[in-house]
Amino acid sequence: MSIFRPAAIMRNLFKKPMTLQFPYEALPPVEGYRGRHLLDLEKCTGCPVCSLACPNKAIELVKVGEEEKEGKKVEKKYPQIHLGKCCFCGLCEEYCPRDAIHMTQEAMISIMDKSQAIYSPDKLSQPVG
Amino acid sequence: MDNEIVSILKSKFPESILSSVSEDKRIYLLVKREEFYQILSQLKEMGFDHLSDVTCVDMLAQGEFELIYHLWSHTKKIRGIVKTRIPRESPTIKSIVDLWIGAQIHEREGHELFGIRFEGNPNLMPLFLEDWEEIPPFRKDFDIREYVKREYYGEDKGYFGQG
Amino acid sequence: MERTRDILAKDELEEREISFTTIPFGPQHPASGHFHASVKCVGEEVVELTPYPGYLHRGFERLMEYRNHAQNTMLCDRICVLDPFSNEMGYVNVVEKASGIEAPQRGKFIRTIMAELGRILSHITWIGIISMALGLDSGTRIAWGDREKIIRLNELATGGRIYPCYFIPGGVRRDFPEGFKEEILKVLDYIENQMKLYDNLVFYNTTFTMRLENVGILRAEDAVALGITGPNLRASGIATDVRKDEPYDAYPYVDFKVVFKGKGDAYSRALCRRGEIIESISIVRQLLEKIPEGDFRVKWGLTKKVPSGEAYFCCEAARGELCFHMVSDGTERPYRVKVRGPSFSHTLAGFPHLAKGVYIADIPAIYWSLDPCPADMDR
């Protein structure tokens, strides 16, 4: 079988390459992609289901303040996520009983310093973009 | 057809077969340790030519290891599962390398991870772990969390414990 | 000079004052992957090959004892990275068998479609890797570009590119999005077209055939004694396929041929995989026509308990027979999970057997014709 194929060579010379120049062009994002989390502070009640669902123990509930409820002082707790331990499986979003935690399409979350990997509830509730 | 295989075995080894279940395309047998090699070689002659796996399960509460041999017959298309039990204090059993040469590597893994001695296996050197000094790691009395905290997150271990 | 395979006794070698050289076919090698073997040779010929596994041993079977069943499907993806859907399929089916529930029909069809797309992805990855090992770099670049189309389909359906985390006991986690069927059909047409290019560039290329024909011949009785399964066994003449012998999920509803060849050399193994890509394309087209509407899952709670007992399930991964054995003690965590990876027997029992008496230059060709996955071997 001959390896000299002039028609194929001319066709391939003028074809567009398969690759994109990354930081300047990127693939369009897809709906339902599992990226960084977004927390809705109105809906979250501090029940620990997301913390129990996480396979890597990346979610921890921290005390944010206190509030009055039926005459008693109750602690207000919200989740804090360690994105270094997170494996982006989406089980916290799936098992949350009040739909308070969602995974957005944000994937460019690289950092240089490991201490910035823990996202407090305030940082999680800021919208992306 | 399954019942035929099980009934032939029961007639040849009446004492050793403790229980058996036959389903469509599968047979399950629980046998005594003394004659299990003869039962497996009889099964090989009856057409079970492929050995998939040799599995070990650690039954801590009963003080025994359970060994499970998974067989498959290419001609009859039936799966055979044979189980036997050995005591936990002195776990030794005869190796089946003479029947299926592919069993040598499964028994080597069982020796490394559970500590079972297979007599007759030519090579029982460690397979995955290097310089391992604790008890075999897949046993139920080996505490993984305590080991990880001591080796990787101790006070003198710097970087891993932070962040 | 006589061939060393004609000299059988070691004493004779010492008498003739021939000394052995030991070369590492190591983990840092352009044709090796995450696998280390030590090759003892005399001149250009190999006398013995000793594998040293363990670079990717993560202890999954022990890690799964600390997590419940919904969380374990996340770990199952990582057992074999190149073919993640087969591992999830095996685990999910064994849990369903032990707890006595059954997924609805639409869930089974979706699982089978994704598993077959995963098989095509794995075989195209294999074309890329074996081209790199034999020196045909163009095959690698084109195969990596074609992989991207199927990974994009994974992303659309599941949200994750390489680790989908899609199956769960009781069905699948999300339904197919709108217009997904047309996307799949476009990708299948593209791959069918690309197979002509792969035929000219890789499969019927003189470099490829000369390096793989009559190399690493595996006879049928040796293959069965060593525990070899999958396309490697089918290339030696024994037509066993778990999808035909013990069908599961939606395989009873499709019609396909089992591809097998008779010769047993490395080239037959390559042609078996090429035939499987074409059969998988036909299976996915049949399933897309027959897929029913309705529910796609039965809800599985986070702390749902599985009754005590055991279950055993085998499925056909891209590399061979993948089996899961699970023992449950009545709680929500498994007591013991054993994973039988297909590459365990291929690499640790089959490869040393085939590598006796060949030239050093044939070692990468034999190794990659067996399509090993070191992640599968070590778990």
Contact C345 B127 (CB under 8 A): no
Distance of CA C40 to the CA centre of its chain: 28
- Beta-strand pair A101-103/A37-39: antiparallel
Contact B70 C226 (CB under 8 A): no
Contact A89 C74 (CB under 8 A): yes
Residue spans of the domains in chain B: they are 2-132, 136-163
For residue C361, CA distances in Å to A17, B20, C265 come to 34, 51, 16
Contact C312 B81 (CB under 8 A): yes
pLDDT digits (tens, 9 = 90+) for C13-56: 555 667 788 888 888 777 777 888 899 888 888 888 999 888 88
Q: Which residues of chain C approach chain B closer than 8 Å at the C-beta? A: 53-54, 57, 59, 61-62, 66, 224-229, 238, 240, 245-246, 312, 314, 321, 323, 325, 327, 335-336, 338, 340, 344-345, 348-349, 378
Identify the closest residue of chain C to B55 by CA–CA distance.
C338
Contact B137 C62 (CB under 8 A): yes
The CATH code of the domain at B2-132 is 3.30.460.80
3-state secondary structure C343-369: HHHHHHHHHHHHCCCCEHHHHHHHHHH
Which residues of chain B neighbour A117 with C-beta distances below 8 Å?
Answer: 163
> Is residue C39 one of the residues assigned to a domain?
no
What is residue B2's predicted lDDT score, i.e. its pLDDT? 57
C193 touching A, CB under 8 A? no
What is residue B1's predicted lDDT score, i.e. its pLDDT? 52
pLDDT digits (tens, 9 = 90+) for C266-283: 899 999 999 999 999 999
Count of CB pairs separated by less than 8 Å, A with C: 48
Using CA atoms, how far apart are residues B43 and B45, in angstroms rounded to an integer? 5
What is residue C338's predicted lDDT score, i.e. its pLDDT? 93
What is residue A2's predicted lDDT score, i.e. its pLDDT? 60
Residue spans of the domains in chain A: they are 34-125
Q: Closest Cα to residue A61, out of A43, A40, A82, A42? A: A82
pLDDT in tens, chain C (379 residues): 445 545 555 555 555 667 788 888 888 777 777 888 899 888 888 888 999 888 888 889 989 999 999 999 989 989 999 999 999 999 999 999 999 999 999 999 999 999 999 999 999 999 999 998 888 888 899 999 999 999 999 999 998 889 999 999 999 999 999 889 999 999 999 999 999 889 988 988 888 899 898 888 888 888 999 999 999 999 998 888 999 988 998 899 999 999 888 888 889 999 999 999 999 999 999 999 999 999 889 998 888 899 999 899 999 999 999 999 999 998 989 999 999 999 999 999 999 999 888 898 888 899 999 989 888 888 8
> Is residue C54 one of the residues assigned to a domain?
no
Which residues of chain C neighbour B77 with C-beta distances below 8 Å?
Answer: 245-246
Q: Which residue has the tokens 């399409």?
A: A105
Partner-chain residue, chosen from B50, B55, B130, that has the shortest CB–CB distance to C224: B50
> Is residue C360 one of the residues assigned to a domain?
no
Walk across the sheet containing B17-23 and list its strands: B17-23, B26-31, B79-87, B64-72, B50-59
- CB A61, CB A79: distance < 8 Å: yes
Measure in Å the smallest separation between the Cα of A118 and chain B Cα atoms: 8
What is residue C1's predicted lDDT score, i.e. its pLDDT? 43
- Give the CATH number of the domain where residue C148 resides: 1.10.645.10
Q: Domain A34-125 is in which class?
A: alpha beta
B158 touching A, CB under 8 A? no
Q: Closest Cα to residue C323, out of C230, C187, C238, C253? A: C230
What is the dihedral sign for C-alpha B42, B48, B50, B55? negative
- DSSP letter string, C302-337: TT----SEEEEEEEE-SSSEEEEEEEE-SSSSEEEE
Residues within 8 A of B (CB atoms), A 50-89 only? 84
Which residues of chain A neighbour B162 with C-beta distances below 8 Å?
Answer: 114
What is residue B161's predicted lDDT score, i.e. its pLDDT? 47
- CA dihedral B21→B26→B30→B34, nearest 10 degrees, is 130
Residues of chain B with pLDDT under 70: 1-2, 155-163
Contact C75 A49 (CB under 8 A): no
Which residues of chain A neighbour B163 with C-beta distances below 8 Å?
Answer: 84, 114-115, 117-118
A29 touching C, CB under 8 A? no
Mutation for testing the B interface, residue in C348, C353, C378 having most B CBs under 10 Å: C348
Measure in Å the smallest separation between the Cα of B51 and chain A Cα atoms: 34
Contact A18 C71 (CB under 8 A): no
Taking the whole predicted model, whether its pTM rises above 0.80 is answered as yes
Mean pLDDT of chain A, nearest integer? 84
Count of CB pairs separated by less than 8 Å, A with B: 6
- CB C330, CB C305: distance < 8 Å: yes
For residue C353, CA distances in Å to C47, C59, C98, C219 come to 11, 27, 38, 11
Contact B74 C66 (CB under 8 A): no
Using CA atoms, how far apart are residues C341 and C375, in angstroms rounded to an integer? 9
B145 touching A, CB under 8 A? no
- State the total domains in chain C: 1
Identify the closest residue of chain B to A84 by CA–CA distance.
B163
pLDDT digits (tens, 9 = 90+) for B11-42: 888 877 887 888 888 889 899 888 888 888 88
Using CA atoms, how far apart are residues A125 and C292, in angstroms rounded to an integer? 40
List subunits contacting chain A, requiring 3 or more Cβ pairs under 8 Å.
B, C
